[in-house]
Structure 1
């Protein structure tokens, strides 16, 4: 019998930070030590500064910047409880994402899973990627929307640089973001969109490439057009 899908924000027992179901990283421990009322959400200006620290700065400096992308204490507790529930049902987050969120069928006998694509170039075909809201976004101020672009086509990375994207991949992603998101926002849209892709070692779902896109002040009509599924 197939596992019952877990609703992302359904009531789940909160984890005990002193006895978590799996090891917590340093960022989680730090966030969970903060009182909810003392938490301040990340603003657009702060987000610009954080993402602006990504390449070409050294990897260690980039990792320090990425650690500033955090969920609130309450959201962190909920996310960790959800993660534990998903892992107990599906073994890991990957099969849940592919079967329940994306509904993509991997190629037979592929391990890690690979997905048939129309093009070998990321984002070249609308059927090769899906744009979905991040169900567990970092804790931003309300005008910021956090999207994930999942791609069937692998995005080339440079393992000698800690799994960061190659220069060509960066060019492809930037062009895609400008064409798909910035242009849809009209004049000045480029100032309202940021993107990043985690290094391989920092990805929570490593076997399935995805890009984080952050948008400030998008209206529901434009957002709905972006989220239309054409990949199924």
Structure 2
């Protein structure tokens, strides 16, 4: 990799960039269970070659669109954003409660998933409505966790069972796409037809 990275690299990123793909150990389903249970999300990482490509892609997107958020809004979500009072991104939505209206969220594959084993599909649920977080910690409030749990149960777990679904939401400082609300969902052995049904892609 040459030139400055388009985002702040953390210690995990630097460690990964010093590896080859052959040296990398993929996150397994059991690994992910522990990481999510401990809220140790900073250890999630991409495969070295994927991270190099992601850095290059991010640089190109920022050069063309200004921000990754703008690219996702325009090219992936097709949601025309409003500019909020604090200069961030906001959207016109039908219902202020997250997940209450299907028009206010979109489920997509993660275009740049973490380095997980091939049996795992990494999805992202993008929302027009903000999910409340604890202002002190940047983590989800108990009420927000219940809200996400209910949505994940209805949308994913009801189809695959509780042992094949996990979810997490990165704290603000870990998000590579800040200002655009999203929740990560991991599916184990999900059939392709279900992914197509959920994403429309």
> Which ranges in structure 1 are unaligned for 5 or more consecutive residues?
1-14, 55-64
The separation in 2 between residues aligned to 1:86 and 1:207, in whole angstroms, is 16
Task: Report if the CA contact (8 A) 2:84-2:90 is conserved.
Answer: no
Q: Residues 185-196 of structure 1 correspond to what in structure 2 (within 5 A)? A: 185=160, 189-196=161-168
TM-score using structure 2 length: 0.94
The separation in 2 between residues aligned to 1:218 and 1:176, in whole angstroms, is 18
The 3-state SS of whatever aligns with 1:160 is coil
What residue number does 1:210 align with?
A: 182
Whether 2:4 is the aligned partner of 1:20: answer yes
Q: Quick one: structure 1 residues 109 and 199, their matched pair in 2 at CA, closer, same or farther if it must change by over 3 Å? A: closer
What residue number does 1:102 align with?
A: 77
Aligned-pair distance for 1:83?
Answer: 0.6
> Which ranges in structure 2 are unaligned for 5 or more consecutive residues?
none
Q: Quick one: structure 1 residues 108 and 159, their matched pair in 2 at CA, closer, same or farther if it must change by over 3 Å? A: closer
Q: Residues 39-78 of structure 1 correspond to what in structure 2 (within 5 A)? A: 39-54=24-39, 65-78=40-53
TM-score using structure 1 length: 0.82
Aligned-pair distance for 1:67?
Answer: 2.4
Task: Report if the CA contact (8 A) 2:77-2:106 is conserved.
Answer: yes
The separation in 1 between residues aligned to 2:9 and 2:37, in whole angstroms, is 27
What residue number does 1:172 align with?
A: 147
Aligned length: 199
The separation in 2 between residues aligned to 1:203 and 1:141, in whole angstroms, is 22
